[in-house]
Amino acid sequence: MKARVTVLTLGVADLERAVAFYRDGLKFATEGIIGQEFEHGAVAFFDLESGMKLALWKREDIAYDSGVQAQNPNPAELTLGHNVSSKLEVDQVMQEVESAGGTIVKSPHDTFWGGYSGYFQDPDGHLWEVVWNPELSV
């Protein structure tokens, strides 16, 4: 199998609230919620870099569509890495996130491997790392 991941879907409890956080708070580009005319179909897509998409879909609808039973979310199951080009940009993004209603769970700090990062959670508890890695160019 080739690694052709093009959409990352986050399960959310309240789709409208989640869209507002990413669209209005973080300024991610979206056409808004689509598919509302279909039972279990309401979803929002956001454009990310390199052609990737972030999708927000209600947890209950993901459970219905996939046939798996929804369970309590665990924020330590997955992290999303937002790589930036400087320590200053890490600090700026974290301030933006906090202003948008995100929860800072670990303030930006120098890492043991020579980078600089901090962690936040979106309103549904999804864990994001905002990171400057001197070995990666962004």
Helix, strand, or coil here: 48? coil
Residue 2 has, within 13 A of its CA and on its CB side, a CA count of 2
**In whole angstroms, what is the distance from residue 41 CA to residue 58 CA?**
9
Q: Are 94 and 107 in contact (CB under 8 A)?
A: yes
Residue 65 CA: distances (Å) to CA of 14, 20, 62, 68, 124: 17, 24, 5, 8, 20
Q: Are 130 and 91 in contact (CB under 8 A)?
A: no
Residue 13 CA: distances (Å) to CA of 28, 123, 137: 19, 9, 35
| pTM as predicted | 0.92
- Please check the confidence at residue 96 and state whether its pLDDT lies above 80: yes
* Residue 116, burial from CB neighbour count under 10 angstroms (0-12, 13-18, 19+): buried
Residue 95's H or E segment, with its range, is helix 87-100
Q: Are 102 and 82 in contact (CB under 8 A)?
A: no
- Please check the confidence at residue 104 and state whether its pLDDT lies above 90: yes
> pLDDT band at residue 3, thresholds of 50, 70 and 90?
confident
**Residues 42-86: tens digit of each pLDDT:** 999 999 988 999 999 999 999 999 999 988 889 999 999 999 999
Strands of the 30-34 sheet, one edge to the other: 7-12, 53-58, 43-47, 30-34
**In whole angstroms, what is the distance from residue 118 CA to residue 105 CA?**
8
